[in-house]
């Protein structure tokens, strides 16, 4: 749960780097919360709970995605490749699943090395 809260604390931070674990744990919690809200919306007969949540986590999700791309030494603009139907989304998933660069890059120090002490 700390990974999810840490991403929310960095609400609109688009600089720096994010580890794979940080990104994928945020994605997992995001999917779980969205599923629970979808069920609640169905039970209550509404459609605004999931919408409010999606708007609320839009910037943190975009921020962690861009930081994850920075960890692989790619510009945050690569997130736009997901706009290409099917193929672009698959390429983005591969980029997000790739291990980050072990050394410092243009976007900052290695987050694994920083978190290790």
Query: What pLDDT digit, counting tens, does each position of 88-117 carry?
Result: 999 999 999 999 988 889 999 888 876 544
* pTM, 2 dp: 0.89
pLDDT of residue 28: 96
Number of domains in the chain: 1
Find out whether 104 and 110 touch, Cβ atoms under 8 Å: yes
What span, in angstroms and rounded, lies between the C-alpha atoms of 80 and 55?
19
CA 45 from centroid of its chain's CA atoms: 29
By percentage, how much of the chain surpasses pLDDT 70?
Answer: 97
Per-residue pLDDT averaged across 23-28, rounded?
A: 95
Residue 100: domain span: 2-115
pLDDT of residue 26: 95
């Amino acid at each position: 749960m700390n990974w999810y809260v840490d991403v929310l604390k960095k609400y609109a931070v688009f600089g720096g780097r994010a580890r794979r674990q940080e990104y994928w744990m945020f994605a997992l919690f995001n999917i779980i919360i969205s599923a629970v809200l979808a069920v609640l919306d169905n039970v209550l007969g509404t459609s605004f709970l999931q919408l409010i949540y999606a708007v609320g986590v839009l910037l943190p999700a975009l921020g962690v995605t861009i930081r994850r791309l920075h960890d692989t030494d790619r510009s945050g603009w690569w997130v736009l490749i997901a706009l290409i139907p099917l193929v672009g989304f698959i390429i983005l998933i591969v980029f997000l699943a790739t291990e980050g660069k072990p050394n410092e890059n243009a976007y900052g120090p290695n987050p694994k090395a920083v978190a290790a002490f």
